Amino acid sequence: MANQLALIQNETLKVWKKKRFAVIVLILLVLVPVFVYAQLKIAENNKDKFTDWRAELRQRIIDNTNALSSDRVPEEWKKWRVALVQQLQYDLDHDVNPNTPNAVTFTNSFLRNAVGMFIPLMVLAVASDLVSSERSTGTIKMLLTRPVRRWRILFSKLVTLTLYVSLIIVATAAVSYLVSGLVFGYEGWREPVFVGFRLAGSDIDTADVHAITQGAYLLMLMGLVWFSAMVVAILAFMVSVLVRSTAASLVTMMAAVISGAILSNMASSWHSAKYLFNVNLDLTVYLQGSPPPIDGMTLGFSLAVLGVWAIAALVVSFAVFTKQDILN
Amino acid sequence: MKSKKSWLWPSLGFVSLGCTLLLLFGFGWALKDAWAPSAGIALPGGTPQPVATGGAWEDKHELLVTAIGDSLTRGTGDASGQGYVRGTVDRLQKALGKPVKLVNNLGINGLEASNLTIRLDDEGFKGAIAQADLLLVTIGGNDLFHVAQNGGSLAEGGDIDVQLLQTRLIGLKPRLETVFRKLRALNPNGRIVYVGLYNPFYDVPALRESVGAVIDEWNGYARRLAETDGNAAVVPTYDLFETDVTRYLSSDHFHPNADGYARIAERVAQTLE
Amino acid sequence: MEQAQEREGRPSRRQAFQPGRPSGKTQGDVVLSVERVSKSIGRKPIIRDISFDVRAGEIFGFLGPNGSGKTTTIRMLVDLIKPTGGRISVCGEDVNRSPERALRHVGCIVENPEMYSYMTGWENLAHFARMQPDIPEARIEEVVDIVGLDARIHDKVKTYSLGMRQRLGIAQALLGSPKLLILDEPTNGLDPKGIKELRAFIRELADGGMSVFVSSHLLSEIQLMCDRVAIIGQGRVIAVGKVEELVAQAETYTLWLVSDPERAEALLREHPDARVVGEDEHRIDESLLAAMPGAIVTSMEPDAVPGWVERFVAAGIGVQAVHRASPSLEELFLKLTEGERLG
């Protein structure tokens, strides 16, 4: 009986040698500077227009308040804006700049924007062919004829997947921090940011609001992003077990993730959509205190929905993988 | 043939395990913070906000302007989005030959005087008022005409009831007084410019005189407040559109259009020079 | 336990080909035992109740045309496919129930030797070595040495030729010093020289005490390589036995290339010790016939051949070539299934 650690070593090395992670880091190194440049342009523009950050914040509040009065703005956007206005107002009233241009805030906002599409796509690059590539190249015949029980092999792949999902998220944060720091400076870990805004009907309840450092905020964000990335990874893992072709499993998962992003923007009136995993992926809204895509969703609810999906996917993966006949 | 001792697996294994533990910790912390919030860190004392110094404008190398008020401040009806505020700032800059900066345009559509007095208590907004060398104010139009709730066509004067206007005017006067008082309390040195009301129904014969009278009374009241203050002015606008109301009003027959705003801006700038 | 099926009594024909197991160790212990294994996919039976044993130190051929259930059977031997009935055991361990113990004694290449092309040969071997208990680095060096890949072992597998991949596959199969080596159509894609080397190599392994299970659809290959053979057709084992004994069942043809075929044929028809075989009666390999165009196909005892040469010469017929054609698999098949039908 081969030792489980050796199996994990095997799988980890295979993913590494396939240069999957290298490609992901490369994509990050190309994309992040683009976003940093865009952010820099915005910052420069704001510097020209506004005397200080407070003025900019005030203008955002006023602009959003004005947008609220328009009848053409859909209800759910209004709700989102009301929450935003109240949060910005809270920041302004407590004289805390929520968007100091520094590497930490840039990384925070990059992660928040990446959680819905970008991170899932990168995770899929690893997860989608973890099992299906063994089948399409035929190496599974070597793998499964070794004296190791099949569940151990699948388990080692699952552990490997977890390790790489973690690496991807830390790498995303690290690349984003290091690149943006060149422009915005590496300071900002200790600056305060408010969390704990709760939605109470159409209003925001600020009773639990408290300040944490941007560094702590970043770590929490990464933790939440990691959880939803893990769920995407586990579902892709299941598809990868079920489907022989890597391309098919990649497309299936991408379709699911993208439709989730679209649904999140328009499904607020379709209530049962909240039980879909892909609408629940953006856990960061709960940390930010923005309204969730659909009424009635809370952090606990989303975690439960994602958890159930992940567990079901794992059960299917293990049941199928340990029993299936390798016919080709 | 022997393979070199590989550092890859040990380092990859430990780094990725470390990352996983870090993220698990972050995840746990996020849950703890959401469900059992801690007291939070102490906020650093805010940096003192700049306050307008007063004194002659000629001695300053830069003028700061804050605009506050209703849809006129916002620039509603101006297709170019400039409004009179931007126009005034640009004209002043040209006339004075020094940078004139708009700190904030705090105009909110449909704002009434009572809401404005509340907003002036807002910590966040105080700074914008306090640092301005020039405060541009429009308020009162919504209180008088209640455009939002008005059902009838404004071109015919809607269901404007002059009797009602008179009663509203009486209630409105103390609010304008409060606005002036609060502005002055926040900013002892800045110049306050109140843009007076005009009669949007000048071309509706039935309302030309009656509404005009109400507007006159209001503007007169504002002028008295400004005189009491000493460092404030009321810019009259009632005569600006009389020649050709339709040319200067936008399609809603209430707000000025781009040309109308340009005329207001011109008048404001002239008053200040 | 491994001999259970022997006691259960199998069809008489099959027993005839499987000489009673001698007591003592001369024939070796049973390494692989397949007992009444069947497999259905959906409702369709693919493998029906097959049984055979592979003993220590023997090269066992597994012969059958494509689509006969050969691949399915091999995959069942190594736990890639779960049988719907019966039992497969290696060294007494049930492959299906405790693969982690049974497969420890098995090295195999199923179909093509597919390895991770983005890793070097060495990394591949190290990968599979980690999946088995107690394989030191020295053992990897040893198997690389055995298959002669030393020069290229640190190159990426994607740069390897098919032959090199085959060697790497065998090296991988040998890593755990298995008692049973399973090779699925090992000569596929190899050039004649490679095939010859492989044959010698397999023989060497068997001489060292390893059992080798080789599948093929070519009777000649099995004839050249194997001690015993199981023949499978349409999901059933048709015969199990020593290769020579089985091959003897099928007709061997003698091909004559002569200067005057018409007279020679007339002569042949006159004598009872020879029989001229019609074109549609035999299934001789076409490539063979192409090399001897216009040859007369006959059936006769080997002893009769010299007499016939003399006879032809005496009759003034020039003998240009005589060839003994061993029966093709198809031929053997026909013979065996015909016997089964009759029996």
Task: Kindly report, residue by residue over B3-59, the tens digit of the pLDDT.
Answer: 555 789 999 999 999 999 999 999 999 999 988 888 777 777 666 777 777 777 777
Note whether B67 and B201 are same-domain residues. Answer: yes
Is the pLDDT at A55 greater than 80? The verdict is yes
The answer to whether the Cβ–Cβ distance between A145 and C108 falls below 8 Å is yes
B56 touches chain A (CB under 8 A): no
SS3 letters across A180-203: HHHHHCCCCCCCEEEECCEEECCE
The CA-atom distances, in angstroms, between B49 and each of B87, B129, B181, C289 are 27, 11, 21, 105
In chain B, which residues have their Cβ closer than 8 Å to the Cβ of C138?
A: none
Residue C167 in contact with residue C147, Cβ under 8 Å? yes
| pLDDT given for residue B157 in this prediction | 56
Helical residues (DSSP H) of chain A, grouped into ranges: 4-17, 20-49, 53-68, 75-93, 103-114, 118-127, 132-137, 140-143, 150-184, 214-242, 246-266, 284-288, 299-323
**Residue of B21, B104, B115, B118 to mutate when probing chain A, most A C-beta within 10 A:** B104
Note whether B184 and B108 are same-domain residues. Answer: yes
Write the DSSP string, C229-286.
EEEEETTEEEEEEEHHHHHHHS--EEEEEES-HHHHHHHHHH-TTEEEPPTTT----H
Note whether B33 and B61 are same-domain residues. Answer: no
Note whether B205 and B252 are same-domain residues. Answer: yes
- CATH number of the domain within which B148 lies: 3.40.50.1110
Chain A, window 70-89: residues with a beta carbon less than 8 angstroms from a chain B beta carbon:
89
Higher-confidence residue of C258 and B1: namely: C258
| pLDDT given for residue B159 in this prediction | 63
B68: closest chain A residue by CA: A62
Query: Of the candidates A162, A123, A28, A178, which has an alpha carbon nearest to the alpha carbon of residue B18?
Result: A162
ipTM: 0.91
The answer to whether the Cβ–Cβ distance between C137 and B2 falls below 8 Å is yes
Note whether B9 and B70 are same-domain residues. Answer: no
**Residue of A48, A66, A217 to mutate when probing chain B, most B C-beta within 10 A:** A66
Q: How would residue B155 be classed by pLDDT, with cut points 50, 70 and 90? A: low
In chain A, which residues have their Cβ closer than 8 Å to the Cβ of C154?
A: none
Instruction: Copy the structure tokens of residue B60.
Output: 């300053």
Within a domain: B14: yes
Query: Minimal Cα–Cα distance from C168 to chain A, Å?
Result: 12
Note whether B93 and B150 are same-domain residues. Answer: yes
Which residue among C103, C118, C119 sits closest to A145, beta carbon to beta carbon? Answer: C103
Instruction: Copy the structure tokens of residue A203.
Output: 């209003």
Within a domain: B45: no
Note whether B19 and B87 are same-domain residues. Answer: no
The answer to whether the Cβ–Cβ distance between B19 and A220 falls below 8 Å is no
Note whether B9 and B75 are same-domain residues. Answer: no
Domain that holds residue B28: 1-37
A213 touches chain B (CB under 8 A): yes
C56 touches chain B (CB under 8 A): no
Over pLDDT 90: what percentage of chain A?
A: 48
Q: How would residue A148 be classed by pLDDT, with cut points 50, 70 and 90? A: very high
pLDDT digits (tens, 9 = 90+) for B217-235: 999 999 999 999 888 999 9
Within a domain: B43: no
In chain C, which residues have their Cβ closer than 8 Å to the Cβ of B1?
A: 122, 141, 144, 150, 153-154
Which residue among A2, A138, A323 sits closest to C112, beta carbon to beta carbon? Answer: A138
Note whether B63 and B26 are same-domain residues. Answer: no
In chain B, which residues have their Cβ closer than 8 Å to the Cβ of C144?
A: 1
**Residue of A7, A23, A134, A146 to mutate when probing chain C, most C C-beta within 10 A:** A146
Q: How would residue C21 be classed by pLDDT, with cut points 50, 70 and 90? A: very low
The answer to whether the Cβ–Cβ distance between A147 and C123 falls below 8 Å is no
Within a domain: B96: yes
The answer to whether the Cβ–Cβ distance between A13 and C104 falls below 8 Å is no
The answer to whether the Cβ–Cβ distance between B40 and A210 falls below 8 Å is yes
Note whether B90 and B131 are same-domain residues. Answer: yes
* End-to-end Cα distance, chain A: 26
What is the C-alpha to C-alpha distance for residues C47 and C69, in angstroms, rounded to an integer? 6
B1 touches chain C (CB under 8 A): yes
Is the pLDDT at C343 greater than 90? The verdict is no
A18 touches chain B (CB under 8 A): no
Least confident among B177-181, C28-32, C167-171: C28-32
Within a domain: B49: no
Note whether B63 and B101 are same-domain residues. Answer: yes
Within a domain: B224: yes
The answer to whether the Cβ–Cβ distance between C130 and A9 falls below 8 Å is yes
Chains that touch A (3 or more CB pairs under 8 A): B, C
Within a domain: B47: no
The answer to whether the Cβ–Cβ distance between A220 and B30 falls below 8 Å is yes
**B217-239 as b/e, with b when 16 or more CB fall inside 10 Å?**
ebbebbbebbeebeebbbbbbbe
In chain A, which residues have their Cβ closer than 8 Å to the Cβ of B40?
A: 196, 210-212
Q: How many domains does chain B have?
A: 2
Q: How would residue A164 be classed by pLDDT, with cut points 50, 70 and 90? A: very high
Instruction: Copy the structure tokens of residue A232.
Output: 């995407």
| pLDDT given for residue B5 in this prediction | 59
Query: pTM above 0.90?
Result: no
Chains that touch C (3 or more CB pairs under 8 A): A, B
Within a domain: B200: yes
Chain A, window 300-319: residues with a beta carbon less than 8 angstroms from a chain B beta carbon:
300, 303
Is the pLDDT at C342 greater than 70? The verdict is no
Least confident among A58-67, B261-270, C193-202: A58-67
Note whether B103 and B238 are same-domain residues. Answer: yes
| pLDDT given for residue A215 in this prediction | 92
Is the pLDDT at C22 greater than 60? The verdict is no
pLDDT digits (tens, 9 = 90+) for C206-235: 999 999 999 988 888 888 889 999 999 888
Chains that touch B (3 or more CB pairs under 8 A): A, C
In chain B, which residues have their Cβ closer than 8 Å to the Cβ of A169?
A: 19, 23
In chain C, which residues have their Cβ closer than 8 Å to the Cβ of B2?
A: 137, 141
Instruction: Copy the structure tokens of residue C187.
Output: 């000569």
Instruction: Copy the structure tokens of residue B152.
Output: 């009838």
Q: How would residue C336 be classed by pLDDT, with cut points 50, 70 and 90? A: confident
